[in-house]
Amino acid sequence: MIGWDDVYKVVYKVVKSMFPLYVALMLGYGSVKWWRLFTHEQCNGINRFIALIVLPLFGFEFTAHINPYTMNFRLLAADALSKLAILAILGLLGRISSRASYDWIITTFSLCTLTNLLVVGVPVMRAMYGQWGVDLVVQLFMVQSLVWIPLVLLLLEFRNTRIMDPPENNGVVDEERRSYWSLARAMGMKMAMNPNVYANVLGLAWALMANRFKFTMPSIMEGSVEIMSKAGTGTAMFNIGIFIAMQTRVIACGTGPTVLGLVSRFVVGPTIMAVCSLAVGLHGPALQIAIIQAAIPQAIASFVFGNEYGLHANVLSTAVVLGTVISLPLLIGYYIGLDYAV
């Protein structure tokens, strides 16, 4: 059982790691709201810079330094099963409910599955479970970067392609089929040109070769990547501050979407992860880590991409900000509760 000293250490370490995030956020907020440093067009340029340059290098750096040959495949299987289950549930709701539109399926999937594994997850797991917990979170981040974020990007690209080039419905099946293939080609080209996809593929390829043949990244290459990737967390939080300042309210969406975001992130995601983890046989500290990492706040990248593609950026911004604020007591509660239950 954990004692109050352990709880205090966890709280202190997590708060110490999260406080700088809000410094960057307030600087972004103040630069637009108080000091009027950026125009609307310049803010859009900042968002594109982060989405297409900083975040790809950020993902490459972490992916390139993992060891793919020592991964916890049972944990990864539970994570994959939980996300596929969420996607299946949302797909079913889309078939039976007129309110579950394609746009909201994408956003809800992001809210339930994409977590801030590096910015919040690493310090939380280091405080709770040491380096072993950090290693597991980095493994999950790699899979999120290589599989689930590209999947969300794929869904977003498909949505944009349908909007720009809707299929003609002239009653001829062949015409419809050709139109959808045309959509698929356009979507595939955009995915192939998105640096967030191939940056993480290159990172995994490097990790596989480096660990197989026992060599390290040259310092000149390491420095070239780090000089931009180190800006990932700070600039993404700065960008959220800019977005909030451009809204009429700090909470950029209404009560309903706010509740949806928080429930999806802190209740639905961890619950489904717990069920799937038990189904694949996880137990002990690995089970605890699986559930707690599913309750980590919303991924900053989900807001960046939502803003880039013009889909519910206000909902995702609110989920990131409020989720990060209220996550500390919730994560501590999960930690204490799971220590007694598992």
Task: Give the chain as a 3 state SS string.
Answer: CCCHHHHHHHHHHHHHHHHHHHHHHHHHHHHHHCCCCCCHHHHHHHHHHHHHHHHHHHHHHHHHCCCHHHCCHHHHHHHHHHHHHHHHHHHHHHHHCCCCCHHHHHHHHHHHHCECHHHHHHHHHHHHHHHHHHHHHHHHHHHHHHHHHHHHHHHHHHHHHHHHCCCCCCCCHHHHHHHHHHHHHHHHHHHHCCHHHHHHHHHHHHHHHHHHHCCCCCHHHHHHHHHHHCCHHHHHHHHHHHHHHCCCCCCCCCHHHHHHHHHHHHHHHHHHHHHHHHHCCCCCHHHHHHHHHHCCCECHHHHHHHHHHCCCHHHHHHHHHHHHHHHHHHHHHHHHHHHHHC
pLDDT at 147 over 60: yes
pLDDT band, very low/low/confident/very high, at 84 (cuts 50, 70, 90): very high
Indicate the pTM of the whole model. Answer: 0.84
Please, are residues 200 and 163 in contact by the beta-carbon 8 Å criterion?
no
Q: Each residue of 50-64: pLDDT tens digit?
A: 888 888 898 898 889
- 232: nearest Cα among 143, 315, 324, 116: 116
Q: Each residue of 157-216: pLDDT tens digit?
A: 888 877 776 655 555 555 556 666 767 676 677 777 778 888 888 999 999 999 999 999
Q: Each residue of 105-124: pLDDT tens digit?
A: 999 999 999 998 888 888 88
In angstroms, the CA 117 to CA 50 distance is 18
Which tokens sit at 285? 């500290």
Q: Is the dihedral of CA 111, 117, 123, 124 positive or negative?
A: positive
Could you give the domains of the chain?
4-341 (1.20.1530)
Question: What integer is the mean pLDDT of 31-44?
Answer: 92
